[in-house]
Chains A and B, each alone.
Chain A
Amino acid sequence: MKIKTLEEILKKKSSKTEFAILTNLENGDSEIYLPGTSPKGEFSKYVDQIENFFKSKKNGVIENSEIFVETYIKPIKVIIVGAVHIAQYLVDFAKSLNFEISIIDPRGYFASKQRFPDIKVINKWPKEAFEEIKTNSSTALIALTHDPKIDDPALQYALKNKFYYIGALGSKKTHENRCQRLSEAGFTNDEINSIHGPIGIKLGGKSAPEIALSIIAQLVSETYKK
């Protein structure tokens, strides 16, 4: 690898631009590839395969070739509603994974910078908060307040915008009531059943970090199903 290529990689990394490093394993040539552009020389034959690595979020050697592709893919946006204790542990776990977290909570005493030093915290009601965050079908929502006033509008927004993962904290009973309200609001059974509620995989633990772990485990597993 040329020093120039290394410097270019570091620049792309710090600006969090999506790119791939293409390496010809036979002769050591390497170059940077931006999705949607045309790779140069020998690499140009493999543009479809390179794009597939982006889609599957994987790295590897292209079949029947000596070309190695390493992709740098933007983190997945995860929106947490409720700047509660569990959210603090979720933030910790997400650091080492490819998730970018934003937190929404209209309650100022929860949504403080001091509780979440490095995270985007929006101290507004969900409806206004979503005006500040770009979302799409690759966004995930974790609703943690179990207060219908705060969670419900966020859940409705996530369902309408087809988030790939929607989870809501609360007991079975709380979740039944929630489903009832969403049904009255006009959501179909399929939509309502796509919500993971009660949120998280069964670990058996009840402490805040244990619940956070069960949620993040479910989120990772659903991300790979995507």
Chain B
Amino acid sequence: MKNSFDEKILDEAKDWIKANQKVVLATVIQTWGSSPRQVGSRMIVNEKGDFSGSVSGGCVESAVVSECLSLIKDNKPCKKIEFKVSNESAWEVGLACGGEIAVYIEQIH
């Protein structure tokens, strides 16, 4: 029961765009098992790698940031990324809780 009306992350995205930054919006679109943030949780990333908001409890944020940077670099509109604990790179980006999440990243243009 999140209070979406009062969430400020999209307002912040608008502020970043106003300041001439490139902004990628990352949204949790699916979760399986126990995962720290619910579907609809968001974070934003700019071309410098600054970010705000969250899509997990700190487990996959760094990986999401680098995916967002590549999206800007390759000038692609969107991408779906899945994170599982069984990932080869689990040491870096696995979810400690054993859950799985799918994150959708998209450029705001």
Closest to B42 in A: A70
Whether A60 and B3, one on each chain, are in contact in the complex, defined by CB atoms closer than 8 angstroms, is no
Binding site for A on B (CB under 8 A): 1-5, 10-11, 13-14, 17, 25, 27, 29-30, 38-40, 77-78, 80, 102, 104, 106-109
Whether A60 and B108, one on each chain, are in contact in the complex, defined by CB atoms closer than 8 angstroms, is no
A220 to chain B, nearest CB (A): 7
Whether A3 and B109, one on each chain, are in contact in the complex, defined by CB atoms closer than 8 angstroms, is yes
- Which of A1, A28, A224 counts the most chain B CB atoms within 10 A? A1
Given A2-B109, A6-B10, A220-B1, A60–B77 Cβ distance below 8 Å?
Answer: no
On chain A, the residues within 8 Å of B40 by CB distance are 59, 70
Binding site for B on A (CB under 8 A): 1-3, 6-7, 9-10, 13, 16, 23, 25, 27-28, 30, 57-61, 68, 70-75, 96-98, 220, 223-224
On chain B, the residues within 8 Å of A2 by CB distance are 108-109
Q: Which of A1, A59, A73, A98 contacts B106 (CB 8 A)?
A: A1
On chain A, the residues within 8 Å of B14 by CB distance are 6-7, 10
Whether A70 and B27, one on each chain, are in contact in the complex, defined by CB atoms closer than 8 angstroms, is yes
B28 to chain A, nearest CB (A): 9
A21 to chain B, nearest CB (A): 9
A123 to chain B, nearest CB (A): 26
Can you name 8 A-B residue pairings with CB atoms under 8 Å? A3-B109, A10-B10, A13-B4, A16-B5, A25-B78, A59-B40, A97-B3, A220-B1
Assembly CA distance A7 to B2 (angstroms): 21
Assembly CA distance A125 to B21 (angstroms): 54
Whether B30 and A98, one on each chain, are in contact in the complex, defined by CB atoms closer than 8 angstroms, is no
Q: Which of A28, A73, A96 contacts B4 (CB 8 A)?
A: A73
Assembly CA distance A60 to B25 (angstroms): 16
Given A59-B39, A70-B40, A6–B108 Cβ distance below 8 Å?
Answer: yes
